[in-house]
Structure 1
Amino acid sequence: MRFSVCIPNFNYASYLGRTIDSVLSQSHTDFEIPIADNNSTDASWEVIQEYVAKDKRVIASKNPTNVGFAGNLDAVSRMVTAEYTIMLSSDDLMGAGALETYQQLIGLIGNQSFIISSTWHVIDPDDNRTGVSGPPQKMWLKTDIDTELSKQLGCDVYKVKAGELLKRGLLNAKGAFNFAATCYRTEDYIKVGGYGGTRMMNPDKWFHFRLLGGPVEYAYFIDKPLFSYRVHPNNQNALQKKSGALKFFVDEYRTTFETDKTMLEKAGITQKDLTDSFVLNIIHKYTFRRIKEGSPMGAFRLWCMGFAAYPAVMFKKRLTYILFLFILSGPLGYWILKPFKQNFNN
């Protein structure tokens, strides 16, 4: 069973060697490591060439220009020759035995289209563990735990039909998988047309939605830390925040009209369900957050975006008007909402 552990990279020379080493040290050795460098300006390419010279399983390509994060995910995916693909960020780590565990689960579930993900450790720039990120809430439920698979792997293994998980994702505007821990069949990547390269933020989330709404039959989550996600000032999430959160909201809005009829039918929801989810989980939720953060103008911008996108839905929700009153109250709204947890009931 052969894996392609894809590493898209941009300016992570200080972490890249540790990432590659974490893959090369796996007990399961039948893999390749395609690396696509997105025209880095640091010493990344020199680091990559050192590993290419040392191990024939490491193959590399450098983009002549920066094609963006999503574009680089497709660039590295085009280098894949193995049956199964795992995308690993160039600042993250693959834990000991990760490939062996994935191989074991794939052997147990047989010949089907799937997505597999797992829990990961959270680490700092010096590889110190600072936390654990398990199954995303609302996406994986205790009732999803498969007792037989859990017994075989020695940890909780969640199993959900693809359509059901897609439904949960669309209705909660949440992704179900940890980026650096997700494995899928390479042929399924080809079937859905790859990442697409057009999403400005979190392109993996939309890609996973299309896998769930397309060829994938079941999704699995191994509740055991098999990867490590690194938090540092220049990681992808931090850079996305610096680039402006509006990109995130535009991408979420696009999901409401780019989710096609086939995906909606597989999820068992309607277009109205999707637009209602966008207003509740994106517009209302983040307007609430902006008020709590003391940013009434940021809240007002989102509130206006909601009316620009789906005015009829906004008009019907009483929370729309409650939030507007808090926006108008300025600092007073911040102090009133600050003690409250985020809770929405239409």
Structure 2
Amino acid sequence: MPKISVIVPNFNHSSFLNKRIESILAQTYQDFELIILDDCSTDNSSLIIEKYKRHPKVNQIVYNKVNGGSPFKQWAKGILLAKGEYIWIAESDDFAENTFLEICLKMLEANNNLGFVYTDSNIITEQKKTGSFKIKKAEKYHSDKWDNAYQINGIEELKHSLIKTCTINNVSAVLFRKKAIENVIAKTYDYKYAGDWLCYMLICTKHSIAYIPDALNNYRSHSNNLTKKSDNNYLGMRERIKARNMCMHHISDTEASLKRTANILNWKEFRAIFGGFIRGRIKVSDFFNTLILCFS
């Protein structure tokens, strides 16, 4: 059995796909299987994928006949197929430094309580490196938290930052313990934008996590990123409310301050949605469904 299962969910990323796959195959740690999932791409992704069909590391290639509508359904499919003890969801438009698996695995294996390890990421625009998430987060949150490596109890991570927003910026920078993610992935099926954040938060309710400040992942910033599209999008805001609520259902009542913080943040999201409703940008049914969600 391979130690790690690497899942590449792809949709219309033919221009990035070759570099993504090659960066996986070039890893210094080689005990892994590669699972490639294509969600009914309309570009020439299949031509690139087929080049790797007989590669010894490629264990599964699955083509959807109909687009699934959510990246998290693809994650779940890959996890179901995975044979490894650890899971790397390597998004098809990103690429990794060749020591990513080696360094992350070493930390996970040293502490059985860790649900996942994540690293910093370089941000790539038009083939140029424009900074890193560590730098952006230091500026945005006025914090040096991400300057140094850390291990932390998951509830404490939620309190410090993760309940406020998704401070784990890119799933390609995460190595999961399989038993941690497979226990929560089914809860993301009806999410389009915030399913990754929900996964991280739910894992944090049961596990500790760790962070590595080295930029071992390279995140491509382009117009088709779902993260970008969700920032000021009604559905993105609604999913964030829903994700916080679901997380709070898995938190002990003794964590009253954390639950209070989540409620305050949800009402701030709701006020933004209310503004969209007043301006006629959000349908009446969507508005009242979100209002109900705030009380659930």
Does the pair score TM above 0.5? yes
Of 211, 232, 235, the match for 2:222: 232
| Corresponding residue number in structure 2 for 1:131 | 131
SS at match of 1:221: strand
- Structure 1 counterpart of 2:151, one-letter code: K
**What is the CA–CA distance in structure 2 between the aligned matches of 1:70 and 1:229, rounded to whole Å?**
18
Q: Which sections of structure 1, spanning at least 5 residues, go unmatched?
A: 146-154, 291-295, 314-346
Q: How many angstroms does 1:240 deviate by?
A: 4.6
- Structure 1 counterpart of 2:224, one-letter code: N
Q: CA, structure 1 residues 234+58, in 2 after alignment: closer, same or farther (shift >3 Å)?
A: farther
Of 225, 228, 247, the match for 1:259: 247
Identity %: 20
TM-score by length of 1: 0.72
Residue correspondence of structure 1 range 1-346 to structure 2 within 5 A: 2-68=3-69, 69-107=71-109, 109-125=110-126, 127-134=127-134, 136=137, 142=144, 156-169=148-161, 171-194=163-186, 196-214=188-206, 216=207, 218-238=208-228, 240=230, 245-265=233-253, 269=257, 271-280=259-268, 282-283=269-270, 297=279, 305=287, 309=291
8 Å Cα contact 1:264/1:271 also seen in 2: no
Q: How many angstroms does 1:258 deviate by?
A: 2.5
**What is the CA–CA distance in structure 1 between the aligned matches of 2:142 and 2:203, rounded to whole Å?**
17
| Corresponding residue number in structure 2 for 1:326 | none
8 Å Cα contact 1:165/1:176 also seen in 2: no
8 Å Cα contact 1:34/1:60 also seen in 2: yes
**What is the CA–CA distance in structure 2 between the aligned matches of 1:140 and 1:194, rounded to whole Å?**
35
Q: How many angstroms does 1:70 deviate by?
A: 2.0
Q: How many angstroms does 1:309 deviate by?
A: 2.2
Q: How many angstroms does 1:279 deviate by?
A: 1.8
**What is the CA–CA distance in structure 2 between the aligned matches of 1:141 and 1:59, rounded to whole Å?**
42
| Corresponding residue number in structure 2 for 1:149 | none
Q: How many angstroms does 1:269 deviate by?
A: 3.6
8 Å Cα contact 2:16/2:93 also seen in 1: yes
- Aligned pairs, number: 290
8 Å Cα contact 1:74/1:194 also seen in 2: yes
SS at match of 2:212: strand
**What is the CA–CA distance in structure 2 between the aligned matches of 1:120 and 1:98, rounded to whole Å?**
11
Q: How many angstroms does 1:270 deviate by?
A: 5.8
| Corresponding residue number in structure 2 for 1:343 | none
SS at match of 1:263: coil
SS at match of 1:116: strand
SS at match of 2:122: strand
Question: Larger Cα Rg: Structure 1 or Structure 2?
Answer: 1
Q: How many angstroms does 1:210 deviate by?
A: 1.0
**What is the CA–CA distance in structure 2 between the aligned matches of 1:49 and 1:122, rounded to whole Å?**
29
8 Å Cα contact 2:5/2:84 also seen in 1: yes
8 Å Cα contact 1:287/1:298 also seen in 2: no
List per-residue Cα deviations over 1:121-166 (Å, max 9, x = no partner): 11124x3212211284698965x68xxxxxxxxx831222111112
8 Å Cα contact 1:139/1:169 also seen in 2: no
Q: CA, structure 1 residues 309+271, in 2 after alignment: closer, same or farther (shift >3 Å)?
A: farther
SS at match of 1:277: helix
8 Å Cα contact 1:163/1:268 also seen in 2: no
**What is the CA–CA distance in structure 1 between the aligned matches of 2:162 and 2:255, rounded to whole Å?**
8
SS at match of 1:201: coil
**What is the CA–CA distance in structure 2 between the aligned matches of 1:140 and 1:165, rounded to whole Å?**
17
Q: CA, structure 1 residues 13+299, in 2 after alignment: closer, same or farther (shift >3 Å)?
A: closer
- Structure 2 counterpart of 1:167, one-letter code: K
8 Å Cα contact 2:79/2:182 also seen in 1: no
Q: Which sections of structure 2, spanning at least 5 residues, go unmatched?
A: none
- Structure 2 counterpart of 1:46, one-letter code: L
Provide the alpha-carbon RMSD of the alignment: 3.5
SS at match of 1:77: helix
SS at match of 2:51: helix
List per-residue Cα deviations over 1:159-209 (Å, max 9, x = no partner): 221111123346524344532101111111222344531112121001111
**What is the CA–CA distance in structure 2 between the aligned matches of 1:257 and 1:83, rounded to whole Å?**
30
8 Å Cα contact 2:234/2:282 also seen in 1: no
Q: How many angstroms does 1:275 deviate by?
A: 1.7
Q: CA, structure 1 residues 192+105, in 2 after alignment: closer, same or farther (shift >3 Å)?
A: same
- Structure 2 counterpart of 1:113, one-letter code: L
